Amino acid sequence: MLPADLIEELLGFRTERDWEQFHAPRNLAISLSLEASEVLELFQWQDPRGEAVQALLPRLREELADVAVYLTYLCHDLGIDLEAAVREKMLQNRRKYPVELSKGSAKKYTEL
């Protein structure tokens, strides 16, 4: 859900380098997962109360940007409107997790 001008900049960056040839959906999905794992790795041995998160922000920012870039490429290449997909998912989530049953609960909808 990046602004259109930034998406165009990302696509132009990729095109200028002739990297589309390496960006099959499978490769982009793998890269997306790897970058998301790098986000997770930053939290691996952190205090569960999150007191050290502030120190991680510069690295988190960089890794989250990588996640956003690969997600943007994947959505573009597959013709997925990410904003529309998120809006549809929110409608599904509202049905699965009604406030009166799920407020304050971490249970999955199948456990409510």
pLDDT of res. 48: 67
Above pLDDT 90, what percent of the chain? 79
Domain 4-80 is in which class?
A: mainly alpha
Report whether pLDDT(56) > 80.
yes
User: What would the pLDDT profile of 9-33 be if each residue is shown by its tens digit?
Assistant: 999 999 999 999 999 999 999 999 9
Instruction: Report the chain's C-alpha Rg in angstroms.
Output: 18
Is the whole model's pTM more than 0.95, yes or no? no
For the chain, give every domain's residue range. Answer: 4-80, 83-112
**How far out from the chain centre does Cα 24 lie?**
18
Report whether pLDDT(80) > 80.
yes
Q: What is the DSSP string of 19-69?
A: -GGG--HHHHHHHHHHHHHHHHHHTTTS-TT-TTHHHHHHHHHHHHHHHHH
